[in-house]
Amino acid sequence: MNKLRFGALVFAGFSTVAHADFFSDSHATVDTRNVYFNRDFRDGPQQSRRDEWAQGLMLKFESGYTPGVVGFGVDLLGMFGARLDSSPDRAGSGLLPVRGDGRAAAQYGKLGVTAKVSVATTELKVGALIPALPTLRPNDGMILPQSFQGALLTSHAVAETLVSVGQLQQAKARNDTGYEDITLNNKNNRFTRNAPGNHLSLAGFDRRLNEQLTFSYHYAQLSDVYSQQFAGLVASQPWGAGKLSADLRFFSSTDQGAARGGPIDNQAFSGMLGYARGAQAFSVGYQRMAGRTAFPYVEGSDAYLINFSQIGDFAEAGERSWQARYDVNFEALGMPGLTVMSRYVRGDDARVSAMPGPGQEWERDTEVKYVIQRGSFKNLALRVRDATYRSSFSRDADEVRVLITYTRLLW
């Protein structure tokens, strides 16, 4: 299928012809992830570090559709995680479940089942879901991803437009085996509590205006907690020997219904401008939190903000932050598969509860990734992620993550 990729969004063109066969159009993949995580806290009386090593395995099966105008299918996702190294004084990295005695589980597993129906260019999925929307981006940075239970409909009935509508009832954390209520992230006690909602409703569209410009609008409502609107614009334009790019994002959020998380009033603007030429790309970003409160998003997910980083999200009430980023793709230099990213993010004017004056924070991230391009180990990837974080209102930390991943198509 042809794909149009822009920013973090992917358009996958659905065939207008019914799928020929449930089995012959199916495919399965196996995905292994070996992750070492070390976060060394530089201050505070609590746990001094989180240091664990674990192995993840995912087996994914996606069927085709039964013949006819209305096609039926099913997707299966089996996930397994195993402890390789941990101890009670180093647990809590997010790789593994932590038991009541403070020890990480030796192993855990989970199964996701999704029924699906296809009519022309419209598809409905019901069951286990891992959506990727501006208003909900499940975390997938450890050995297993966060997932949700609910229904999601996507449609390409309008040319060059992807429409998404859904409702999710429960969430399953990346390091948990059971579903729980979808809750509000309450980092640094930004709100009254990690308030649960009965369901999360989602709706929106992504419209490609031309080859260089895409506009998005999305709405989300965590019932009795918050409602949120998003508008985004992604653009690119050749300029000289390189290419200019822009990624602009705006959120407006308010408390909703019973306001279980307390008052919410936030307008978040973030934007990134970049220029790429040859092997190199330079980008600068700016992010601003307006309104009376911090930016709300679902617990365990990644906030769709330009300055959301490896450790910090730079989303406190009133906070202003900027970013400088540098990327190198060594394919243009004769070393395909090797990429390097380095960025620096700094924020100030943060209003944090129990802190008398404005807060400041900064983070420096570096990532080196190499993917084997050919041979028996094609697609085997090694990624090293290093972060240094300093803050006047949160614990300072140095962090290293080493990820070895491998994906293989079974059929």
Q: 193-205 pLDDT, tens per residue?
A: 999 999 999 999 9
Q: What's this model's pTM, rounded to 2 decimal places?
A: 0.91
Is the pLDDT at 246 greater than 60? The verdict is: yes
Comparing 20-34, 199-213, 313-327, which segment has the lowest mean pLDDT?
A: 20-34
Closest alpha carbon to 311 in 8, 36, 37, 7: 37
What confidence tens digit (pLDDT) does each residue in 256-312 have?
Answer: 999 999 999 999 999 999 999 999 999 999 999 999 999 999 999 999 999 999 999
Closest alpha carbon to 243 in 273, 210, 267: 273
Question: What does the mean pLDDT of the chain come to?
Answer: 93
Cα distances from 333 to residues 59, 242, 355, in angstroms, run 35, 16, 49
Contact 301/136 with Cβ under 8 angstroms? yes
Is the pLDDT at 2 greater than 50? The verdict is: no
Q: What's the average model confidence in pLDDT over 184-200?
A: 96
Which one-letter DSSP state was computed for residue 333? G
Q: Specify the CATH number for 3-409; select among 2.40.160.10, 1.10.10.10, 3.40.50.300, 3.90.650.10.
A: 2.40.160.10
Cα distances from 165 to residues 38, 110, 152, 154, 169, in angstroms, run 38, 26, 6, 7, 14
User: What token pair was written down for 215?
Assistant: 């506009």
Query: What backbone torsions phi and psi does residue 97 show, to the nearest 5 degrees?
Result: -65, 145
For 234-303, the DSSP string reads EEEEEETTEEEEEEEEEEEEEE-TT-TT---EEEEEEEEEEEEETTEEEEEEEEEEESSS----BTTB--
Is the pLDDT at 366 greater than 60? The verdict is: yes
How far is it, in rounded angstroms, from Cα 134 to Cα 215? 12
How far is it, in rounded angstroms, from Cα 106 to Cα 85? 9
Q: Tell me what pLDDT residue 20 has.
A: 52
The band of 141, judged by pLDDT with boundaries at 50, 70 and 90, is: confident
What confidence tens digit (pLDDT) does each residue in 77-121 have?
Answer: 999 999 999 999 999 999 999 998 889 999 999 999 999 999 999
Q: What is the dihedral of CA 390, 41, 341, 350, to 10 degrees?
A: -30
Q: What's the average model confidence in pLDDT over 169-185?
A: 95
> Which residues have C-beta within 8 Å of that of residue 94, sequence separation ≥ 6?
37, 142, 174, 175
